[in-house]
Homo-oligomer: A and B are copies of this chain.
Amino acid sequence: MSTPIDYLLHLADNAVVLGQRNAEWCGHGPILEEDMALANVSLDLIGQARLLYQRAAELKGGDATEDKLAYFRGPHEFRNYTLLELPHHGALVGYAAADRDYATTIVRNFLYSALMVHVWDGLQQSADASLAAIAAKSLKETSYHLHHSRDWLVRMGDGTEESHARAQAAVNHLMPYTEEFWTTSPAEGAAVAAKIGIDVWALRPAWDALVNEALAEATLTRPNFHGYVTEGKIGLHSEHLSYLLGEMQGLARAHPGATW
């Protein structure tokens, strides 16, 4: 696939995978208002994914559609950050069963939206006018996601002893996955060179500041990184993505020719 398409897929896959995860809380949230808030985040992300897939399909031509891209690519073809495919609980293998943990959900939404407010901001200047327009829309939505998750991060960290422990555990679990943000995939490199994409590396100080400030306010500690840098954005995922996609794509794939 050509550069801008690969880059658009990275952005779209991020959005659809995290949208899928956030929607899992629907009907199971800790309080009705949060059910609705996460449904809203999910809706925004699915909406972003649709626009991005549509643009990618347009560039790809042929019989490509948003749904072909979302439903008929395998896990190794997905280009999302590994962070976004993880289930809502601590580190466990792909076929473990466990209760959902809201701290994991909130911390992940925070870490991702803290990056994406800067990414969308920068992409408003993309040489791809469609992408620039999507970025402007997404920036507004993502700012809300950031506010929402940051507020809860602070509440949890500076709440009760239990909520602090859970939030810290989620931070410890998820923070290593953010290292993937700072590597440059071929798709990103080419998109930056073509002035379509944004150099995420340059956003690191801003992200660090945002994260460190929020963690400090939440009385949480940022763990040191020493570990494995995930490679979801080049298609090397965790064991969790194939389950997520299996569930998401199963019905569509059972009826390959169908229109819905």
Q: Which residues of A contact B (CB under 8 A)?
A: 24, 27-28, 74, 87-89, 93, 95-100, 243, 246-247, 250-251, 253-254
- Complex CA gap A93/B93 in Å reads 23
* A24-B97, A28-B97, A246-B246 given; 5 more Cβ-contact pairs under 8 Å: A89-B97, A97-B98, A98-B99, A246-B250, A246-B251
Q: Is the interface of A mostly helix, strand, loop or mixed?
A: loop
Q: Which of B89, B100, B247 lies in contact with A243, CB distance below 8 A?
A: B247
How long is the Cα–Cα vector from A97 to B247 in the complex, in angstroms?
Answer: 14
CB proximity of A159 to chain B, nearest CB, Å: 23
- A88 CB to closest chain B CB (Å) equals 7
List the 6 closest A-B pairs by CB distance, nearest first. A246-B250, A97-B100, A250-B250, A98-B99, A99-B99, A97-B99
User: How near does chain B come to A85, taking the closest CB pair, in angstroms?
Assistant: 15
Closest Cβ of chain B: how far from A29's Cβ, in Å? 12
Inside 8 A of A88's CB, which chain B residues have their CB?
97
- For residue A134, give the distance in angstroms from its CB to the closest CB of chain B: 30
Distance in angstroms from A211 CB to nearest chain B CB is: 27
7 A-B pairs with CB atoms under 8 Å apart are A27-B95, A28-B96, A28-B97, A97-B97, A97-B99, A246-B247, A250-B250
A97 to chain B: which residues have CB within 8 Å?
A: 24, 28, 87-89, 97-100
Residue of A74, A89, A95 contacting most chain B CB atoms (<10 Å): A95
In the complex, what distance in Å separates the CA atom of A136 from the CA atom of B32? 55
| Cα-based distance from A100 to B28 in the complex (angstroms) | 18
A72 and chain B: residue at smallest CB distance: B254
- From A27, A97, A253, name the one whose CB has the most chain B CB atoms within 10 angstroms: A97
A98 to B100: give the CA distance in the assembly, Å.
7
Which chain B residues border A87 with CB–CB below 8 Å? 97
With a CB–CB cut-off of 8 A, which chain B residues contact A96? 28
Q: Are A95 and B24 neighbours in the complex by a CB distance under 8 Å?
A: yes
In the complex, what residues of B have CB within 8 A of residue A253's CB?
250, 253-254
